[in-house]
Amino acid sequence: MKRAAVVTRVIDPAALIAEVQSPEFGAISLFVGTVRDVNDGRSVTALDYSAYVNMAESELAAILDEAEVNFGVGAIAIEHRIGALALGEVSVAIASTHAHRRPAIECTRFIIEEIKSRVPIWKLEHYADGAREWVDPTRAIGEAAL
C-alpha cells in the first residue's frame, strides 16, 4: 500500500498510522511537520502553502517508488496540505512501515528530504510586522535551515 496526496483539509496523523498499520510490520515511522511561529528570527503569524498540484502529486508518486526500492518498506502514506494554515497546524505527515525500525525511520527521513528538495510546493509567510515573503530555502544554505 502506497499513497501520496496534496490535500486542502486538516491532516490527521493518526489516520495515516491506521492506514499503514499491519501485523506484518513491526515498525511504523511517523514524521509530522507543523507551522512554526518563528523563521529566520522573524515572528510568523500565518502561512499560505500553494502547489503545482499535478506535478507535486507525480513527484510524490516518484518519491514513493524510489523509497520502496531503496528501503524495501511495506506501506507508506504521505499527505501534504496546501492553503492557509494557522500556527501549529500540520503541513505534512509521512508514515512508513517495515518489519524493522531502521528502514522505516530511514525511509521517512528520505521522503521528507526529497519533498523539501523537489516537490513543487511553496510557502508564503505572513509576519507579525505585516510583511509577507515567499520562503526561499536556497537562500538559507549554510544556515539554520539545514
Partner 1 sequence: MVTVQLFASYAEALGGSTLQIPFENGTRVADLVRSIRALPGGRSVPPSPRVAINRKFATAEQLIRKDDEIAVIPPVAGG
Residues that bind partner 1 (CB under 8 A): 33, 49-52, 54-56, 58-59, 80, 91-92, 112, 115-124, 134-139
Nearer to partner 1, 52 or 127 (CB): 52
Nearer to partner 1, 64 or 74 (CB): 64
The least distance separating partner 1 from the CB of residue 121, rounded to whole angstroms, comes to: 3
The label of the residue with cell 510557502 reads: 123
Nearer to partner 1, 100 or 116 (CB): 116
The least distance separating partner 1 from the CB of residue 97, rounded to whole angstroms, comes to: 21
The least distance separating partner 1 from the CB of residue 35, rounded to whole angstroms, comes to: 11
- Contacts of residue 29, defined as CB under 8 A and 6 or more positions apart, other chains included, come to 94, 95, 96, 97, 98, 101, 104, 105, 107, 108
Half-sphere exposure for 85 (CA within 13 Å, toward CB): 29
The least distance separating partner 1 from the CB of residue 107, rounded to whole angstroms, comes to: 16
Q: Exposed/middle/buried for 65, CB within 10 Å: 0-12, 13-18, 19+? A: exposed
